[in-house]
Amino acid sequence: MFLLRILFRNAFRHRLRTLLTILGITIALLSFGLLRTVVSAWYAGVNASSAGRLITRNAVSLVFSMPISYAERIRQVEGVKGVSYANWFGGIYITEKNFFPNFAIQPRSYLELYPEFVISPEQQRSFFTDRRGCLVGRRLAERFGWKIGDNLTLKGTIYPGSWEFVVSGIYRGVDKTTDENQFFFHWDYLNETVKKSVPRRADQTGVYVIALKNPQRAAEISRAVDALFSNSLAETLTETEKAFQLSFVSMTEAIVVAIQIVSYVVIVIILAVVANTMAMTARERIGEYAIFKAMGFRSHHIAGMVFGESLFITMSGCLIGIALTFPVAHAFGEAMGAFFPVFRVESSALYLDLLFSVLIGVIAALFPTWRAVRIKIADGLRRIG
């Protein structure tokens, strides 16, 4: 406690300079933590992927569809536990700014494959029995103020027209990594309408979701599924759910790399700021260090004071930055929920904050310590007055 009091008094001899340095460290580490959280949110879908699910799409591109008749043939493959299918709908609610993922699904089989979507039995029954019913995530419902029984309309883009829905259920995630911003409705509702308007696009689906009995056989079953439809008009590409999600992340890999680089540049900048502060402090106290030496203090005592003061300043900024990271990340996540449905501070980001704070404190104190330890008593005393 006595040592901390000495470090505190030394650090705050120049209050304004120290406070500005701590503020700079706080802002830098807060920025670093948020940038690392953005990167983690970018990979949220990948990290939440199940090892027990495969995704089958058209081998040419995700834009092209596949016949719905493929489902039964896939179900016959050895090792397949269940099959469902889904279509990206791309509907717009009121305005393009209100973006959220919306899919046409086969309700019963799809929800069986995704146990992470928790919904009450009553709401589930209502969703199954109402052809115009839709199932929405908890955060999505909160965003627009939707309640059970509400009527809403999506404007189709891929499938033109105005599509009417009734909110039959609101699901919540089994944990914080589950996306609660999705919108699901009946594939049959979509298909029946398409049959009347564009018959050639009917009885088609965008992806098949396959549940595996044994996740260890994922590669083998993927090859078996694709072999079923080789040389057909709609050949398939089957991959794990994680690989499927990574294919989307890879499209924006340059952005992710840029964010990571910026996060480390922030650390380098704050290192320069703290190093400058400690250099100024050491230069101002050369006379004091000479007096300490004259009184019998050894080099390691002086080094301890310099390193201790540097670490005290950096760790003060670090702890404030970490404390602010959570409310700022929460506010950012609420504002950007449409783009980052899962936005939470990872413990790894906090560990990096602590690690870099210690490194910055140590590195910034190296030169001032070397200078203070090497000063001769006579030379240091000349600077007094």
From the number of C-beta atoms within 10 Å of its C-beta (0-12, 13-18, 19+), residue 69 rates as exposed
Amino acid, single-letter form, for residue 166: V
Contacts of 256 by beta carbon, 8 Å cutoff, 6+ apart: 39, 42, 249
What pLDDT, on a 0 to 100 scale, did the predictor assign at position 89? Answer: 93
What pLDDT, on a 0 to 100 scale, did the predictor assign at position 350? Answer: 86
Three-class HEC string of 112-180: HHCCCEECCHHHHHHHHHCCCEEEEEHHHHHHHCCCCCCEEEEEECCCCEEEEEEEEEEEEECCCCCCC
Per-residue pLDDT tens digits for 69-119: 999 999 999 999 999 999 999 899 988 888 889 999 999 999 999 999 999
Nearest to 55 by CA among 181, 205, 249, 159: 205
Cα 234 to Cα 240: distance, rounded to the nearest angstrom? 19
By three-state DSSP, how is residue 92 classified?
strand
What pLDDT, on a 0 to 100 scale, did the predictor assign at position 380? Answer: 57
Residue 288 vs residue 266, higher pLDDT: 266
Query: How many other C-beta atoms lie within 10 A of the C-beta of residue 238?
Result: 26
What pLDDT, on a 0 to 100 scale, did the predictor assign at position 341? Answer: 65
Q: Does the predicted model carry a pTM greater than 0.95?
A: no
Mean pLDDT computed over 224-229? 94
Percentage of the residues of the chain whose pLDDT score is greater than 70: 86
pLDDT at 385 over 60: no
What pLDDT, on a 0 to 100 scale, did the predictor assign at position 290? Answer: 67
Mean pLDDT computed over 149-157? 92
Per-residue pLDDT tens digits for 22-55: 888 888 888 888 888 887 777 766 666 788 899 9
Mean pLDDT computed over 236-248? 86
Mean pLDDT computed over 7-25? 78
Residue 263 vs residue 287, higher pLDDT: 263
Contacts of 34 by beta carbon, 8 Å cutoff, 6+ apart: 325, 328, 329, 332
Cα 83 to Cα 311: distance, rounded to the nearest angstrom? 57
Residue 223 vs residue 250, higher pLDDT: 223
Residue 3 vs residue 210, higher pLDDT: 210
174 neighbors 118 (Cβ within 8 angstroms): yes
Query: How many other C-beta atoms lie within 10 A of the C-beta of residue 54?
Result: 26
pLDDT at 63 over 60: yes
**Parallel, antiparallel or unpaired: strands 151-156 and 102-105:** unpaired
Which of 243-247, 286-290, 377-381 is modeled with the greatest confidence? Answer: 243-247
Nearest to 181 by CA among 1, 45, 21: 45
pLDDT at 187 over 90: yes
What pLDDT, on a 0 to 100 scale, did the predictor assign at position 75? Answer: 93
- Phi, psi (rounded to 5 degrees) for 150: -70, 145
Tokens of 114: 């995704």
Mean pLDDT for the chain overall: 84
What pLDDT, on a 0 to 100 scale, did the predictor assign at position 168? Answer: 95
Percentage of the residues of the chain whose pLDDT score is greater than 90: 35
Which of 3-12, 105-114, 252-261, 369-378 is modeled with the greatest confidence? Answer: 105-114
What pLDDT, on a 0 to 100 scale, did the predictor assign at position 255? Answer: 77
313 neighbors 274 (Cβ within 8 angstroms): yes
